[in-house]
């Protein structure tokens, strides 16, 4: 996890522009560098480093003797860089996994490069010999990337939007800063002036398709057919493989643990594999909640079962409320459920950074979207419509849960790893018949739970624990986190302000005081950029006025049973 930043064709002094790059310094607390591009005085790269692999030669932009005309700035982890080296005979000069991008590009161009990378990434690749600039982002947008491109060819690229919004230019940049689409690469021509012109934007991978890099994966062809035992076995094999490949790190590994199915499965498989690989330090797991919250109690059970070194972060409503503005500034969004869920994740990440030496943090993001874990999936009119909704949620992950998970951890210099969004695992799961993937017997994620039923990885009551949204499970059943927030905000926002909200904020107008409060804070930091969020996250097929699972009739916590 790092912070990348680059400018091409700047009319303003680069030493002034570089101040913008310092806005993302939290992403790389170990070192930073600015480097001008030879022959292009108005182009430069900025890099903030979190040293996870190759402590010695990991600074960027990466340049190697074999390709002196290539410059690479990237944020991410490429899990198959050793397999690609073996398959194609690449000669690496560093231990940096991202170096493989240079070799792949030299061998087969940008399309093959993006398609063959098994991992999470956002990168800027400059080829001065052919005067091309390439941008690319992984399939689900696990690693963030924003860009601004003006009509006169000035290009700015950054891991977070906050590193671009204050750039100086002769024309306004206000409406042009936008997220770079996941699963795409862009080709731009570099002119002698340092300005650029976009040539094409290409979608290189659809999450339903088996990725091109599967051919050189450590897990070879799986048994075909949709009989239940085969499917369950394949799910276990691919999920374990997804966790195993993410163990690549020279820094200590930890795991977020809410006590729900997803994070518990990740933690249990992670600990099992760490033992197999003779990693000597204990796995630290981290849970956050208010006193006696369902998540804290469930996480305690899981930690005792798997034998992790467990940490509990207990916060009160005042601490949560005080964090709201910092959280919205980090997130760059005003989405209601994202802000709610981010507060707990932000506070636990702060604890991990201050109190422990864990840096690489595993988490369960992506499972709800992939395996139909949201409670409203019980109301899907048909398996086919449920499957379509699952795909829509995956497509929009970069706007919601993946955004939350990246920004809240990156704000404290941690690197997030999300095995549920492994390309191979997700493409296999999505290839299964729609009727296999729907909730059954009143239980969501039924197939995933079934697949691990006989593994003894988790206590049965955790494996079959009902869905509890992270923003709900951190508080008690008697008074949920969203109710606490709403009670506080009710005193902060006047009724008249809400009545006139649609006049002040015509795009995505706030409908509640809570929504208005978040929007005010967002506009304070990112005025006029509300279009970064195309719509609020809301359940489908139910008449929901609030995104919390606890407002749905189906909701029933273990404490109430």
- Condensed to tens digits (0 to 9), the pLDDT of residues 385-411 reads 999 999 999 999 999 999 999 999 999
- Mean predicted confidence (pLDDT) in 427-438: 97
Comparing 159-163, 203-207, 304-308, which segment has the lowest mean pLDDT? 203-207
Whether pLDDT at 475 is above 80: no
Count of beta carbons in the 10 Å neighbourhood of residue 420? 26
Q: Which helix (H) or strand (E) holds 132?
A: strand 132-137
In angstroms and rounded to an integer, the radius of gyration of the C-alpha atoms of the chain is 23
Put the strands of the sheet holding 358-362 in their side by side order: 309-314, 284-289, 252-256, 358-362, 415-417
Domains observed in the chain: 3-203 (3.60.20.10), 220-553 (3.40.50.620)
Q: Which residues contact 198 (CB under 8 A, 6 or more apart)?
A: 149, 186, 187, 188
**Sign of the C-alpha dihedral computed for residues 12, 14, 19 and 22 taken in this order:** positive
Residue spans of alpha helices (H) in 125-260: 228-245
- Residue where the block lists tokens 């459920």: 337
Annotated binding site: 97, 256, 288, 363-364
Residue ranges of the annotated binding site for ATP are: 256, 288, 363-364
Where residue 153 falls (left for φ over 0; alpha for ψ -120 to 50; beta otherwise) is left
What is the residue whose two structure tokens read 């820094």? 251
- Tell which residue, 53, 31, 32, 24, has the closest CA to residue 360: 53
Residue 223 structure tokens: 């048994």
Residue whose token pair is 């704000």: 411
Task: Examine the pLDDT at 247 and tell me if it is beyond 70.
Answer: yes
**Which of 202-211, 217-226, 360-369, 511-520 has the lowest average pLDDT?**
217-226
Rounded to an integer, what distance in angstroms lies between the CA atom of residue 314 and that of residue 476? 12
What residues are annotated to the active site? 2
Query: In this model, does residue 560 exceed pLDDT 50?
Result: no
> N- to C-terminal Cα distance for the chain?
42
Residues in the chain, total? 561
Q: Is the pLDDT of residue 31 over 90?
A: no
Burial class (CB in 10 A: 0-12, 13-18, 19+), 257: buried
Whole-number mean pLDDT of the chain? 92
Q: Are 308 and 283 in contact (CB under 8 A)?
A: yes
Strands 309-314 and 284-289: parallel
In tens, the pLDDT along 496-518 reads 999 999 999 999 999 999 999 99
């Amino acid at each position: 996890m790092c912070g990348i930043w680059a400018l091409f064709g700047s009319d303003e002094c680069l030493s002034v522009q570089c101040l913008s790059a310092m806005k993302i310094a939290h992403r790389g607390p170990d070192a930073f560098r600015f480097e001008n591009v030879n022959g292009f005085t108005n182009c430069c790269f900025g890099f903030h480093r979190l040293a996870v692999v190759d402590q010695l030669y990991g600074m960027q932009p990466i340049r190697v003797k074999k390709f002196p005309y290539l410059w690479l700035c990237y944020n991410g982890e490429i899990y198959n860089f050793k397999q690609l080296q073996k398959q194609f005979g690449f000669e690496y000069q560093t231990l940096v996994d991202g170096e493989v991008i240079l070799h792949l590009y030299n061998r087969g161009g940008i399309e093959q490069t993006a398609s063959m990378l098994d991992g999470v990434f956002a990168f800027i690749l400059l080829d001065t010999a052919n005067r091309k600039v390439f941008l690319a982002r992984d399939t689900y947008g696990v690693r963030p990337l924003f860009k601004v491109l003006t009509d006169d060819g000035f290009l700015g690229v950054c891991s977070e939007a906050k590193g671009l919004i204050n750039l100086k230019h002769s024309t306004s940049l206000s409406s042009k800063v936008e997220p770079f689409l996941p699963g795409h690469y862009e080709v731009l021509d570099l002119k002698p002036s340092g300005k650029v012109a976009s040539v094409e934007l290409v979608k290189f991978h659809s999450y339903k398709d088996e990725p091109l890099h599967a051919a050189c994966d450590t897990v070879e062809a799986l048994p075909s057919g949709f009989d239940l035992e085969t499917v369950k076995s394949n799910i276990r094999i691919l999920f374990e493989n997804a966790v195993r490949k993410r163990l690549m790190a020279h820094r200590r590994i930890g795991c977020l643990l809410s006590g729900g199915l997803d994070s518990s499965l990740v933690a249990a498989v992670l600990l099992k594999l760490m033992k197999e690989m003779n990693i000597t330090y204990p796995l630290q797991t981290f849970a956050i909640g208010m006193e006696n919250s369902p998540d804290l109690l469930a996480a305690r059970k899981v930690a005792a079962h798997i034998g992790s070194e467990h940490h509990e972060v207990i916060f009160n409503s005042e601490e949560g409320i005080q964090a709201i503005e910092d959280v919205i500034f980090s997130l760059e969004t005003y989405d209601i459920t994202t802000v709610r869920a981010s507060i707990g994740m932000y506070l636990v990440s702060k604890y991990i950074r201050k109190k422990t030496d864990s840096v690489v943090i595993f988490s369960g993001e992506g499972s709800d979207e992939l395996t139909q874990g949201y409670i409203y999936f019980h109301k899907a009119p048909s398996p086919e419509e449920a499957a379509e909704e699952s795909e829509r949620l995956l497509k929009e992950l970069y706007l919601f849960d993946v955004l939350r998970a990246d920004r809240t951890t990156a704000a404290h210099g941690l690197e997030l790893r999300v095995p549920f969004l492994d390309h191979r695992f997700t493409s296999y799961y999505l290839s299964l018949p729609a009727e296999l993937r729907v909730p059954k017997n009143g239980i969501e994620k039924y197939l995933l739970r079934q697949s691990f039923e006989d593994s003894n990885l988790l206590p049965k009551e955790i494996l079959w624990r009902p869905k509890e949204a992270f923003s709900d499970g951190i508080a008690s059943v008697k008074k949920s986190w969203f109710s606490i927030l709403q009670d506080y905000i009710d005193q902060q926002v006047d009724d008249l302000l809400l009545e006139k909200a649609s006049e002040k904020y015509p795009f995505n107008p706030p409908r509640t005081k809570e929504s208005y409060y978040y929007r005010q804070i967002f506009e304070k930091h990112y005025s006029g950029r509300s279009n970064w969020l195309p719509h609020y996250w809301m359940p489908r097929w139910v008449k929901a006025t609030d995104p919390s699972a606890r407002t749905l009739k189906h909701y029933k916590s273990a404490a109430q049973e």
